[in-house]
Amino acid sequence: MSTDIELYAERLEKGCWCPVTEPAPNAKGKILPVEFGDVLGRTYEFFSVLAGESISSVCRNDVVPSVSPPRGFPDDMSKLYNDLLPLWYEEVSGFNTSWLMVRELVDFDWDTLKVLSYGYVEKEYAHLFNADQDFPAELPKDTKIYHGLYCPPPDTTVKVCWSIGLRCYTGNAVDWLLQDLLPLGPPDEVRIIYWFWA
């Protein structure tokens, strides 16, 4: 089962939050906000950092730092978002609703923080792994790594862990998002509102 993100942007204008991009009419003429951030696709690793927990089985074995625990919808959303977003959230059975200022994304320590990733390897290779180090380059290329996602690993394996830099782990997804968000205004005056659904 796949997980998607609903992501909308707001900009502070004269003390009030306003939708970005401009709301647009649908086929029936109803005005709807335009979803922001289609550039992300299904970057589950980045979703996990935004959600404050592992999103999908792809990240199940990872200990992922989060920018912030989920905060729910902001109390001061624009009227349009306040009227529509909670309804859509309910319709799709969304989870981990939150919001972040662009400043928080800019200031988060993407380059120093690490993700702790787990797997299972045959006992003879366990000594190559260390929780404080990157994935071992000296591991033979044909070595099978079991993640235990859908079935238990063989009894001949042991659990190992290694570290991955956060920016690398998320595939630079924050850079793609910031490329679209930063032109919208000062980082302290633009925010994203988002949730996930499966």
Residue 35 pLDDT more than 80? no
% of the chain beyond a pLDDT of 90 = 60
Q: Which is higher by pLDDT, 73 or 38?
A: 73
Query: 3 pLDDT exceeds 70?
Result: yes
CA distance 198 to 190: 27
Q: Is the pTM of this model over 0.75?
A: yes
Label residue 149 by pLDDT band (50, 70, 90). confident
Compute the average pLDDT of residues 86-101. 92
Provide mean pLDDT across the span 77-94: 90
Q: Residue 113 and residue 160: Cα distance in Å, rounded?
A: 20
From the CB of residue 86, how many other CB atoms can be counted at a distance below 10 Å? 16
* Averaged pLDDT of the chain: 88
> Which residue bears the tokens 């306040």?
82
Examine the pLDDT at 59 and tell me if it is beyond 80.
Answer: no
Looking at residue 150, what is its pLDDT? 80
Q: Read off the tokens for 93.
A: 């059975």
Q: Is the pLDDT of residue 73 over 90?
A: yes
Residue 167 has pLDDT above 80, yes or no: yes
Sequence ranges of the domains in the chain: 4-110+170-197, 114-166
Reported confidence tier of residue 159, pLDDT bands at 50, 70, 90: very high
Among 5, 74, 69, 59, which residue's Cα sits nearest to residue 36? 5
- Which tokens belong to 49? 């950092």
Q: Phi/psi zone of residue 72: left (φ > 0), alpha (ψ -120 to 50 degrees), beta?
A: left
**pLDDT attached to residue 197:** 87
Q: Quick one: pLDDT band at residue 41, thresholds 50, 70, 90?
A: confident
